[in-house]
Structure formats: structure tokens, C-alpha cells
Structure 1
Amino acid sequence: MLKTLIIIPAYNEELNIQKTIDDIEENAPEVDYIVINDGSKDNTLDVLNKYNYHYIDGFQNQGLFGAVQTGFKWALINNYDVAIQFDGDGQHSASYIKILLKAIEEGNDIAIGSRFVTEKKPFTARMLGSRLLSLAIKITTGKTIKDPTSGFRAYNKDCIRLYAEDSNNPPEPDTLACMLRNGKHIKEVQVQMSEREFGKSYLNPINSIKYMGRMVISILLIQPFRKVKK
């Protein structure tokens, strides 16, 4: 089996992190995990210590990119074959880890846990940004990513290195376009996601609009001219 690390970025997830780790230990006990405590201001660190969870403590908030890249660096240093980005808020299910790993074993560079492989994307205001990102990726790469905003992704060894070493390569929808343009193979697999039970996402309506706008501009105007490091 491929040596696998689950990377769990966590910011103020004191009420969610135990359920997340329990899910992994129950449904994917054969893989390792590391929680990246991203400068949480609540009691996340206390929970991690109470249950002796595996974690790296960030002394300040780096944001999603900084937290996940810390995990990629850990995976690179410790020679993991696969790294899986996995939310700490309970929205992702570890029961799908096996099918993500299977997609990597089949030769894909990135596997995305997608809500919309066999299910249709709803025509809602919430999904408008996702549709715009999918369209921008299609325009610039000729490839279709149905769920570009999914944060449930598996990366092979080469992609671990690329994300760990390049500060211009955050694990965001825009860099998926860059990876596609540089010959990487991406496969989406159908998953179900849950709603967050506790706490609030930083992506409120205003932040969501800003985020989607930034991603679309990057996909259309920046990523087509980037080359990933060899």
C-alpha cells in the first residue's frame, strides 16, 4: 500500500476536530495523519493535547495555504507517497479515502473528492462561483473539473514536492489549472460531503465573492503563463 499522510488544517476547530480524527481512525486506520493547528484562538490545541493527536502547532495563523503547505513539507521530509488534504471541520468522510488512493494508484497525479461526478451541480447562487471556476478552467486548459472548490484531494509524490517547495503553488482551484496545463492528470471521484456542525467558515458571502473573483482572475490571467518546477 502507498505510504499515505492525511493533512488536516485546523483553525478554531475545537468542537469538530475530535469527530474528524475519530472518523479517520475508524475508516482509514492504515494511513497516517497530521493536524496543522493554524494559530487557533480557541481550545483546539487543548483538544489535540488531551487526546494525544498527532499535530504540528503553528504559532500564528498562516491561512489555508500556509497550513496545508506545512503538511506537504512534512510529507516530503518523511517520504510519503501520497498526501491527502482533509478538512478539520467534519465535512469530509474518511470512508472515501480508499477510492482517492485507488485513483492515484491508477496513475493519476491528483484525485479530487467531487460532489458532482455522478450527481448534477445544482443551479443555486452558492454554486455560481463553482460554475465560473469550472468554466475558466475549461477555457484555459480544455479540461473539465466539475468540483474545483473541493478541498478533499489526494496528491502523488511528485505533486507533494511541487506543493511543498513552491510558495506560488497554493492548493487552490487556480493551481489545478496550472497542473493541467503542465501535463498532470487529475481525476474526480464521487463523494458525499456533510455540512459543518459547529463554528463558522471564513467564507461568508462577501469573502466568497472576493475569493471566487480572485480565483477566476488567476485562472484566466496568471496560471496560463506559469510553469511548475521540474
Structure 2
Amino acid sequence: MPSGTMQRVLVVVPAWNEERSLPAVLDEIRTHLPGVDVLVVNDGSSDRTSAVARAAGVPVLDLPFNLGVGGAMRAGFRYAVEERYDAVVQVDADGQHDPADVTRIVERLEEHDVVIGARFAGTGEYDVGGPRRWAMQVLAGVLSRLAGTRLTDTTSGFRAAGPRAVRLFAVHYPAEYLGDTVESLVIAIRSGLSVGQIGVSMRERTAGRPSQRPLRAALYLLRACLALVLSLARRRTPLGPPEAGIA
């Protein structure tokens, strides 16, 4: 990697208070993806996340306050457009995403504009139960119909965006809760982009605390379905010509 038409690939690592897990994640990226550029987007962390990334020699975008994964990734997509990258891959800073899978995900960009690293596609043993699992199944069913292909893990943040998707997401990537996963796929599909997936193994976070606390997990089903309804109700996002700039 890079291969084919994907000549310049940027790995974007959104990070919020991940000083403990981030060094190992960056080491893994270097090991499995030598020569691939990395950008850490420090999402308003109150710990040493930014300092840890800089100490590792990785460029950092420091956001003034916490915007969530969607806001951090939109900043990463804008950076990618400005620096003329062909593709962007999201690798989370908590250690759940295995950088060893990035090459396979990027290779699928030869066939699709957006490729999801899917937990429930016959690879690995990652499991989710209760309301979260029900919500994931509902979302996967609806988005599969929209995309015209089977998608099993539409809330996965482990994904890659090709040139057309990078330009679209630099302007329209949603920052709301679940918007960075669910709504971003709706935006891509309704803009005429192709979405596919590839099975990956995911791991438990290596440090820190998950953003999904028990109360939040209990509300997941309602919020996920609401996010889908709202995204479908919004107007279709036009995809401008390749030379279009960022508004």
C-alpha cells in the first residue's frame, strides 16, 4: 500500500483523552503501514494526548474543545483535501481497530467509494448484545436496502473513504452522535457513492474508558433509529465537481 489508483493514503486517528492507548496504536500503524502518513486529531483532550502524539513524531490537529468523533473526522477530511490525499482511513485511538487490516480495506476502494471494516461479517469473535445489537441489526437492514448491497456493521468507525467520499465528507461529514457512522453512510449513498464492506477482527479497548456508559447504551436503540430517520429526512447532498473547493 498504496496500490492501484490510491497513491496517497492518510490514516486519521481521532483521539479524546487517549494518552495511555495512543502510543501503542501509533506503533502498530508504523509497523503495519510503513510510509503511510498519519494525522492525529486531538479532540479537545484534557490529558497529554496531543503531547504524546507529537513526541511520536506524528502531526496533530488540536481542536479547541471536544466535538466528538464526527467533528474530529471532518477536520481530518478537510486536512486531507487541502493536502491532496486520495484516501482517508479512520483508525480509532483506543486500540480496537487493528492497523493490519487497513491494507485490505484500502484495496477495496478500487471497487467502492466507502469501505467499512465490519465486525459482523464472518471474521473475528466480537460480540454485542441487548439493545445495541438490536439497533445495529435494524440499521444494517435499512442501510443495506439503501445501498443495494449487504452491510452488517453500519455503526463501525473502522472505514476508508476514496477520493469522491473524501471531498464530500470534508464539507458534509456529520458531527452529531451516531452521525459519523449512520448519517455519513446515508449521505454517501444519497450522493451516489458506492458503499461496501470487508470483514475485520476488532479488539477490546486497550486503555481509558468507553464513551458508551450503561445509561447511554440503554438509549442506543432509540437514538440510533432517530439518527437514521433524521438523516433520511434531510435533503440529498449534491456531490460537486472534482475541482470544487471547501466551503
Deviates more, 1:218-227 or 1:27-36: 218-227
Q: Which residue number in structure 2 is paired with residue 156 of structure 1?
A: 162
* Contact 2:146–2:189 (8 Å) recurs in 1: no
Q: Which residue number in structure 1 is paired with residue 70 of structure 2?
A: 65
Deviates more, 1:175-184 or 1:154-163: 175-184
2:51 equivalent to 1:46:
yes
Cα distance, 1:147 vs structure 2: 0.5
Could you list the runs of 5+ residues in structure 1 that have no partner in the other structure? none
Please list the CA deviations of residues 151-189 of structure 1 after superposition, one character each: whole Å capped at 9, or x if unmatched: 100001111111111255753213313322333211111
User: 1 CA distance for matches of 2:85 and 2:223?
Assistant: 32
**2:140 counterpart letter in structure 1:** S
Match for residue 117 of structure 1 among 97, 105, 121:
121
**1:184 counterpart letter in structure 2:** L
Match for residue 198 of structure 1 among 187, 190, 207:
207
Identity of aligned residues (%): 29
Cα distance, 1:30 vs structure 2: 2.6
Q: Which residue number in structure 1 is paired with residue 139 of structure 2?
A: 133
Deviates more, 1:186-195 or 1:139-148: 139-148
Cα distance, 1:33 vs structure 2: 0.7
**1:67 counterpart letter in structure 2:** A
The alpha-carbon distance between structure 1 residues 21 and 59, as it changes in their structure 2 partners (threshold 3 A), is same
Q: Which residue number in structure 1 is paired with residue 102 of structure 2?
A: 97
Match for residue 165 of structure 1 among 163, 171, 177:
171
The alpha-carbon distance between structure 1 residues 213 and 50, as it changes in their structure 2 partners (threshold 3 A), is same
2:22 equivalent to 1:13:
no
**1:18 counterpart letter in structure 2:** P
* Contact 1:3–1:81 (8 Å) recurs in 2: yes
DSSP-derived class of the 1:163 partner? helix
User: 2 CA distance for matches of 1:22 and 1:181?
Assistant: 37
Please list the CA deviations of residues 191-215 of structure 1 after superposition, one character each: whole Å capped at 9, or x if unmatched: 1111012111111132234444233
User: 2 CA distance for matches of 1:167 and 1:187?
Assistant: 18
Q: Which residue number in structure 2 is paired with residue 183 of structure 1?
A: 192
Could you list the runs of 5+ residues in structure 2 that have no partner in the other structure? 240-247
**2:100 counterpart letter in structure 1:** S
Cα distance, 1:101 vs structure 2: 1.2
User: 2 CA distance for matches of 1:221 and 1:60?
Assistant: 26
Alignment root-mean-square deviation, CA:
2.2
TM-score (norm 1): 0.90
